[in-house]
Each structure stands twice: as structure tokens, then as C-alpha cells.
Structure 1
Amino acid sequence: MIATELLIGFFLLFTITKLLGKTQFAQITPFDFISALILGELLGNAIYDHEVKIGEIFFTTILWGSLIFVVEKITQKYRRTRKILEGDPNIVINKGHIQYEALKKGKLDLNQMMSLIRQQGYFSISEVEYAILETNGMVSVLPKAKYDTPKMSDLKLPLKDPQLPIALVLDGEVVEENLVELNKDLKWLEKQLSKQSFHRVVDVLYAEWKDQNQPLYVLGYKKKSS
């Protein structure tokens, strides 16, 4: 009976997470966190409670998942409901000055705010021009100009469009859809690997393409042959 309930619970949870989407379980807001937590608790408690029947597991899980789904659809369609259901970001540092009312509204004290700012890489409030308490409880930081990281345009260096690295081999298997995206074939890949003394794809743990003017980045399961 436990095995049956676990299997049913597994497929129910899998289906609900697919329907609700990734943002629900990324815990973007406190509501997201609590709703995901309760969903897991409902399912977990139902499975190990011998008095709960399979039909009741279906009912409670699907009902709660449906309620979450409806709330998500409401916030997506009606902008005015987002403030009530999701909350608003609060500016807790404005032009270098701490906004105590915003801290109080967000139920945040100075030590907590400083901890969140340090997690963004800034160890002094004097380095911060703006800090925003997001709806998920994290703080986004815009530093003062002299503490900001210089950009390529600031250094007057030649600009180059960034390239997204593409994995071509994972765990000894070719990622064929990525090869197609690059307009390459298996023969080209094998040739590139052989240049780095990998003569079989199965010997490659990971291979990545980043730039056509650079060789593939390759990691093997074992030392390359001489």
C-alpha cells in the first residue's frame, strides 16, 4: 500500500510541478515558498497516514495544486492583484541613505540587511548607492560609482559579442541537438576531439564549444593517451 501511494504521489507531484512551472518552486515570493511547502506536507503526511485513502490523496493534492495554479493565473492576468498576492520590492537604501521605514515594512533589521548586502559582494553600507529588498527576501544592490565594476566601454576596450558555451558531449554521449544547432556533424566532433588525443567519444566526460577560433574544452574520464 505504501509503495502504491508513493508511486501515485510521485506522479501527482511531477504533474503538478510541470503545470505550475519553474517559478513556483524557485520560491520567488513567500507565498510560493509556503504553497510549495504545504503541497509537499499534504502529500507526505497522506502517504504515511494509514487512515488516508488513495482517493483522498488525489483530492487534496489536486485541489491544492489547482488553487496555486489559479492564483498564478490571476497574478499573470491582472496586474493590480500582484501587490496583494506577491508584494512589492522595497528600497531600503536610497542614494546611500538607509530607509528605516522600508526596513520596518519589510520586517528587516540592520544586521539582516548587512548580511544580505555582503552576499552580493559589498561589505560596507558606504559602498551602496541603492539597495532593494525583493519579494523573495533577497537584496539587489546598485553600488556607488567608485565601487562599481568597470565595464568594457569604461575601459575603452574593443567590444566582442558574448558567446554562449554549448555542451557537445556529456558523460561520454554526444548531445546531438547541440551539434545540429552549430551546423556540425559527428565527424567534425570526432576530428576536434582527436586533436586533443581523445579518439573515442566514450572516453570524454565533457566537451564544450565556445568560440570557433578556439579548440573545444575537453575533460576525459582518464588521462589522455600519449
Structure 2
Amino acid sequence: MEASVRAILFYVFLVFVVRIVGRRPGKQITPFEFVLVFFMGGLALTAMVGDDASLTNAFIQILTVALAHFCIAMARTKSRWLARLLDGTPLILLENGQWRSETLSKMRIQDDDVMAQARDQGIATLDKIEIAILERNGQISIIEGTK
């Protein structure tokens, strides 16, 4: 019974902390924010099932991580360099019918992945794509050409 109460308590607490720290739609979550979510979840899990059963200690750890995230997020808004370091930058995968092979290889993306995204947007052939971009959040954006 105590484990169930702890689980509910931490769930409510984490939802509260994440709401305070900030929110974005799921497709806009950056790697920086994924780390926050998983790390805070790990701290809560450790407090629920680990040797240290102190709720106070777990709350302090989670609040500390949330505060650190908030401070870094604020610094990110003031520094483009820090934002690029933490979130990355959009990368061009295809431009004017030319694949950027080095970028595709480095990001471990196949040209078929780009074409699948294009087909999802109703673009059937390569010659109708003006540019394909790997966004900071991992999504592939396809911009149709005007030809």
C-alpha cells in the first residue's frame, strides 16, 4: 500500500513540477527537455524503490533538477550559442534535388525516411521537393517546390 501511495504522490509532484518548468507540444520537445523528463522520472523511481526511502530527499533532488533546468532554459533564451549547443540546429538533408549525403550519414537517416515523410505530406516524387530539413526536435520538414 505504501508503494502505491508513493507512486501517486510522485506522479502528482512530477506533473506539478513539469507544469511549472514549462511545456511544449510533444513534437517540439528538444533533446534537452527529454533529458529533464527522464532524469526527474529516474529520481522519483529511485526514491520509490531504492534504498533511500526519504521523500524529503527525493523532493529536494527533483526540485533542484527543475531549478537547474529553469536556469539553463532562461540562459538559453539569452544566448544563441547555448541554445545551439543544447538543442542543436536544423540540418538540410535535401536541397534542389541534391542529397546531402554526409549529413544523412552523420544523422543516420536514410533517403527513404525523407521520402516517407514527403509521401505523408502528399508529395510523391523527389523533383517536387525544394528542401528537406531535419529539425532540432528530430522531425523532418519537407518544403514543396514551386516548379
TM-score normalised to structure 2 length: 0.82
Which residue matches 2:98?
97
Which residue matches 2:74?
73
CA distance in 2, matches of 1:107, 1:71: 29
| CA RMSD, 1 decimal | 2.3
> Following TM superposition, by how much is the alpha carbon of 1:64 offset from its aligned partner in structure 2, in angstroms?
1.7
Secondary structure, in 3 states, of the residue corresponding to 1:130?
strand
Give the letter for the 2:55 counterpart: I
Higher helix share: 2
> Following TM superposition, by how much is the alpha carbon of 1:124 offset from its aligned partner in structure 2, in angstroms?
2.9
Same amino acid, percent of matched pairs: 25
> Following TM superposition, by how much is the alpha carbon of 1:26 offset from its aligned partner in structure 2, in angstroms?
5.3
Mapped pair 1:55 → 2:56: yes
| Maintained 8 Å contact 2:117/2:142 | no
| Maintained 8 Å contact 2:27/2:137 | no
Secondary structure, in 3 states, of the residue corresponding to 1:121?
coil
| Maintained 8 Å contact 1:25/1:36 | no
Which residue matches 1:84?
85
| Number of residues of Structure 1 aligned to a counterpart in Structure 2 | 146
| Maintained 8 Å contact 1:96/1:126 | yes
91-100 or 109-118: which moved more?
Answer: 109-118
Unaligned ranges ≥5, structure 1: 147-226
Unaligned ranges ≥5, structure 2: none
> Following TM superposition, by how much is the alpha carbon of 1:125 offset from its aligned partner in structure 2, in angstroms?
2.4
> Following TM superposition, by how much is the alpha carbon of 1:50 offset from its aligned partner in structure 2, in angstroms?
5.5
Question: 4+ residue runs of structure 1 moved beyond 4 angstroms?
Answer: 24-27
CA distance in 2, matches of 1:123, 1:33: 33
Kindly report which structure 2 residues correspond to 1:15-34, keeping only aligned pairs within 5 A, or say none.
15-23=16-24, 27-34=28-35
CA deviations 1:108-145 (Å, max 9, x no partner) are 22233333333333333232111111011111111122
Which residue matches 2:41?
40
TM-score normalised to structure 1 length: 0.56
| Maintained 8 Å contact 1:96/1:128 | yes
Tell which structure's C-alpha radius of gyration is larger. Answer: 1
CA deviations 1:149-185 (Å, max 9, x no partner) are xxxxxxxxxxxxxxxxxxxxxxxxxxxxxxxxxxxxx
